[in-house]
């Protein structure tokens, strides 16, 4: 059965000719060289926070700032309250002092006028 074998061989020849190697896309060599050089670069020794850690760090920083703000805000409020109390105390003491002085003066005046105090 030579004819089928000849046909097969001829087909194989045609197939071989059709399947010659083709060029890769333009710039293939340059892109490959660039990747090779990139993979040779040593990783920079910097402290890289993983993105999730960075997120948590930022969240923690925000929380700390909020707490600090709340704390200092509270402290300011307390200071204001204390100052108001101190002011009120001074005003009270001043008022008492004025009252004491006034009463003393009234008492002296009465004594001078001979008015006996209650027994």
Q: Least separation, in Å, of the C-beta of 50 and other proteins?
A: 26
Site for other proteins in 33-92 (CB under 8 A): 33, 35-37, 39-40
**C-beta of residue 95 within 8 angstroms of C-beta of residue 102:** no
Among 1, 2, 15, 45, binds other proteins (CB under 8 A): 15
**9 binding other proteins? (CB under 8 A):** no
Among 5, 17, 99, 113, binds other proteins (CB under 8 A): 17
**C-beta of residue 57 within 8 angstroms of C-beta of residue 49:** yes
Measured CA distances, 47 to 50, 54, 57, 89 (Å) = 9, 11, 14, 57
Q: Least separation, in Å, of the C-beta of 69 and other proteins?
A: 52
Q: Is 45 left (phi over 0), alpha (psi -120 to 50) or beta?
A: beta
Tell me whether residue 32 or residue 109 sits nearer to other proteins (CB atom).
32
**C-beta of residue 110 within 8 angstroms of C-beta of residue 117:** yes
**29 binding other proteins? (CB under 8 A):** yes
Q: Write the DSSP symbol of residue 22.
A: -
Site for other proteins, rule CB under 8 A? 7-8, 10-25, 28-29, 31-33, 35-37, 39-40
């Amino acid at each position: 059965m030579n004819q089928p074998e000849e046909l097969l061989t001829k087909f194989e020849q045609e197939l071989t000719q059709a399947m010659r190697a083709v060029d890769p896309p333009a710039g293939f060599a340059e892109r490959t060289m660039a990747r090779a050089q990139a993979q040779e670069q040593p990783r920079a020794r910097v402290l890289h926070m993983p993105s999730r850690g960075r997120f948590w760090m930022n969240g923690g920083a925000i929380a700390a700032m909020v707490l600090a703000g709340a704390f200092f805000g509270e402290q300011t409020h307390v200071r204001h309250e204390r100052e108001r109390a101190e002011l009120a105390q001074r005003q009270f003491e001043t008022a008492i002092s004025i009252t004491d002085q006034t009463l003393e003066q009234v008492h002296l005046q009465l004594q001078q006028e001979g008015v006996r105090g209650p027994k």
